[in-house]
Structure 1
Amino acid sequence: MENEPVTRVVIYETEDEKGDRRSLAVELRSSGELVMDGCDSGPLAEKFFGDWDYEYWRTVPADRVGEIALRLIAERFGSDTSFRAWLDRHGIPSRFDCWR
């Protein structure tokens, strides 16, 4: 059975000894929009933002999400072999074809 498609990935979640927390995630919404959202909370957030937590997000319209994938793939992979290995590591199915 193939893995279900991932629609949200946590990039990081941290907490330090002073109680300051930071998190950042990216989500592909059912609308097709891509949203990166984060939250900083704790004493440091209160000092800088005047409130215990600071939440933020950046939304990319659905019609530009494919462009992100194309540009990131072009920047990250130098060969089909490295791309295939990455897909395999993440359980993402793919199909290879060629002319013979």
Structure 2
Amino acid sequence: MGHNYQPNEVMMEKHRRTLFSRSDEGGSVSVTATLQENGSIELFDHDIGENARRMFGRDDREYVTTVPADETGKLALALIAESYADDSRATVKLRELCEKNGIRFSVFTN
């Protein structure tokens, strides 16, 4: 199972973030998260080299996890709950995160 990005797929992507990247004499490992044009979120794990061969039996391994667009709201809520549980500054931190990443939001105060 592999996912080779085609040029038109790359152009259709809205956002991509590298979550992890490491290279050494044993090879390289990278994990990226991508918000696709259709609203789905994809985590792409790619291992290349001798370390991959030892762990997976081949020197090039791809592993893709996709959360469909209709589940991303639940995913966002779960990540917010895990990130800000028991934090009295949760709303401030969420606003700061949104500002840092160019995400629109609104605030209501009473």
Q: TM-score, normalised by structure 2?
A: 0.73
- Larger mean CA deviation between 60-69 and 45-54 belongs to 45-54
For 1:86, give the aligned amino acid: L
Greater per-residue helix proportion: 2
Instruction: Look up the match of 1:3.
Output: none
Mark the runs of 5 or more structure 1 residues left unpaired by the alignment: 1-5
| Runs of 4 or more above 4 Å deviation | none
Report the aligned-residue RMSD.
Answer: 1.7
Aligned length: 93
- Percent identity, aligned pairs only, is 31
For 1:8, give the aligned amino acid: R
Q: Which of these residues, 72, 82, 91, is aligned with residue 79 of structure 2? A: 72
Mark the runs of 5 or more structure 2 residues left unpaired by the alignment: 1-13
Q: TM-score, normalised by structure 1?
A: 0.79
Matched residue of 2:51: which SS? Answer: helix
How far, CA to CA, are the matches of 1:30 and 1:91 in structure 2?
17
Alpha-carbon displacement from aligned partner over 1:4-60 (angstroms, at most 9, x marks no partner): xx62111011012x2410000111111222111111111111223232211110111
| Cα displacement (A) at 1:91 | 3.3
Instruction: Look up the match of 2:23.
Output: 15
Are residues 1:89 and 2:100 paired?
yes
Instruction: Look up the match of 1:36.
Output: 43
Instruction: Look up the match of 2:109.
Output: 98
